[in-house]
Amino acid sequence: MLPRTIRLLALGFLACGLAHAQAPKADTPKVDPKVDPKAAAVNYKDHVLPILRKHCQNCHNPDKAQSDFDITTFQAVIAGGSSGEAVKPGNAAQSLLYKVTAHEAEPKMPPKGPKIPDADIAIIKKWIEGGAPETAVGAAKAGARKVEIDPVAVSLGKPDGPPAMPERLPVVSLAKTERPHPVTALAASPWAPLIAVAGHERVLLYNTDTLKLIGTLAFPERIPHVLRFSRNGKWLLAAGGRGAASGKVVIWDVVTGKRVTEIGDESDSILAADVSPNHKLVALGGPGKLIKIYDTATGELKAKMKKHTDWVTAIEFSPDGTMLATGDRNGGAFVWEAETGGIGFTLGDHKDAITSLSWRADSQMLATASEDGKVILWYAEDGFPTRSFNAQVDAKAPNARKLPGVMSVQYAKNGQLATCGRDNTARIWQANGTQLGKLEGFTDLPSRVVFSHDGALVFVGDFTGKVRVWAVKDLKQPVGELSTKSE
C-alpha cells in the first residue's frame, strides 16, 4: 500500500510505474473522422503524434530525451537522436523509428512492454512511406500563436471597478461522478465572494456568501492539481493533466468562463503553476524537476530553471510580481527573480517535501509548508527564516518521532495564516505563529485550505471530496459545506 505521503500526488500518477505498458482504453486518443488515416493522407500532427504520445513520450520528451530523441515535435522527430536519423521519408524499411516499434531492430520499443498495436505500427509505416508529412496534404501550417492579452498594472491594493464574478458561463455537459472527487486544489478570488474547487475533469465555482454553486468549467485535461486566481481576480488558472501522459495549464476569463489561453504541452501532469500579477508570464513545474516560464501571449518558452532535485510541487509569484517562489518533493525551496529567472535565495531548512507556499500580501514574507511538519516564515529581502513552528501538533502534546506533515498553508490579507495536515485538523494562526484555533471533525486527510477574499471565512477541502467552511470569528462549528460531487 502506498504511504499516505504520496496519496495526493498519486491521484493523477497511477500510471507512472507502468509508463511503458499499454494505456487503458479510456486513455486511447480518439481519431477524428476528418483525419481518419483511411480517408486522409497520414501525417505527423493528426495521426502519428497521438500514437507516439501514448506509447513513447514518457522517455522521449524535451525534459527526458533518452538517446537524445524527442517525439513531441515534428522537427525533433525528423532530426533524430544519438543513433542518427529516425525517419527516412519514403522508406519505412530503412527508418529506425519504424523498425524498433515493429520489433524488427534493436532496441525494441517500448523496452519494458509489449509491442504497440499492429494498427498503430501500420500508421507509422504508412506515414513514412507517404513522405512523412507534418500536416495533412493541402492544409496550411499553423501560424505563430498569438493571444491578445493586455498587460495588467501590478497593484497590491484592490483593482478599480467591481470585482470579477461569473456572469455568462458556458453550459457544459459533464459525466456525473458516483462519489465526490478528493479535493486536489482549492482557490479563492482575492477580491470577490468566489471560490474554485477542483473536481474530476471540472472546476466548480461557488459563491462564498451564499455557499451556492454558480457554475462549472470543463477541464477535460483530467485532474486539476492547481487552481489559482490572478492577482486582480479576473483570471482563473488550472493546471494538471494525466499522470505519465500529458499536462497543461488552462486560463479562463472569470466573468465569461471562456478559455483565454492554454500553456505548456507536458509529457506528465503539472503539479505546480501560477500566473504573474501582470498576466505576462506563466510558471509551471512537475515531475520533470524543471521550472518553466512561458510568455502568456505567445505561448513561447522563455526560460528553464534546473535547480530542483525532485518533483516540483509548489510555485507562486509574489504579489508585487518581482519574485517567484518554488518548492520540491525533496524539501528544496528557492526564490527567483521573476523577470530574469536568476536565483535569489535558497531556502534550505525543510527536511521533507514542500507541499505549499504562500506570500504575504505585501510581498515581504513567504510561508513554506512541508511534510516535515513545519511552517517556516522567510523574510523576502534576504531569505532569512524569521520564524518556524510545528503546525499540526498541539503545543502540549508529547514529542513524537515524526511530526504530522503540513499539506497546505495560506496567508490572509491581514497576516493571519491557515494550515491543514496529517493530524486530520486545520488550524488558524496569528502572524507570529500563535495558534488561534483548531478545526476538527475530518474523517480523511484535509488537503487544501484557503481564506475567503475578506478573510472572514476559511475553507478546508479533504479527501472525501468535501469542503468545510468555518467563520474565522467563531471556529467552534462549520457554518457550511461544499462538495466536488456532480449534481
pLDDT tens digits along 200-227: 999 999 999 999 999 999 999 999 999 9
Q: What is the per-residue pLDDT for 23?
A: 38
Average pLDDT of the segment spanning 162-176: 92
Q: Supply the mean pLDDT for the chain.
A: 88
Using the predicted structure, report yes or no on whether residue 10 has a pLDDT greater than 70.
no
Using the predicted structure, report yes or no on whether residue 38 has a pLDDT greater than 70.
no
Q: What is the per-residue pLDDT for 446?
A: 99
Q: How far apart are the first and last CA of the chain?
A: 32
Average pLDDT of the segment spanning 157-183: 91
Q: What is the per-residue pLDDT for 81?
A: 87
| pLDDT more than 70, % of the chain | 88
More confident residue, 9 or 216: 216
Q: What is the per-residue pLDDT for 27?
A: 43
- CA 255 to chain CA centroid, Å, is 22
Using the predicted structure, report yes or no on whether residue 100 has a pLDDT greater than 70.
yes
Q: What is the per-residue pLDDT for 140?
A: 38
Average pLDDT of the segment spanning 95-122: 91
Q: Give residue 400's pLDDT band: very low, low, confident or very high (50, 70, 90).
A: low
Q: What is the per-residue pLDDT for 30?
A: 44
Q: Which domains does the chain have, with CATH numbers?
A: 9-129 (no CATH), 186-483 (2.130.10.10)
Q: Give residue 15's pLDDT band: very low, low, confident or very high (50, 70, 90).
A: very low
Using the predicted structure, report yes or no on whether residue 383 has a pLDDT greater than 50.
yes
Distance between CA atoms of residues 423 and 431, nearest Å: 22
Average pLDDT of the segment spanning 362-374: 98
Q: Give residue 252's pLDDT band: very low, low, confident or very high (50, 70, 90).
A: very high
Using the predicted structure, report yes or no on whether residue 137 has a pLDDT greater than 80.
no
Residue 431, Cβ neighbours under 10 Å: how many?
Answer: 15
For the segment 63-92, what is each residue's pLDDT rounded down to a tens digit? 888 888 988 888 889 888 888 899 998 899
Average pLDDT of the segment spanning 468-477: 97
- The CA distances from residue 483 to 104, 132, 309, in Å, are 52, 49, 36
For the segment 114-125, what is each residue's pLDDT rounded down to a tens digit? 899 999 999 999
Q: What is the per-residue pLDDT for 185?
A: 99
Q: What is the per-residue pLDDT for 334?
A: 98
Q: What is the per-residue pLDDT for 34?
A: 41
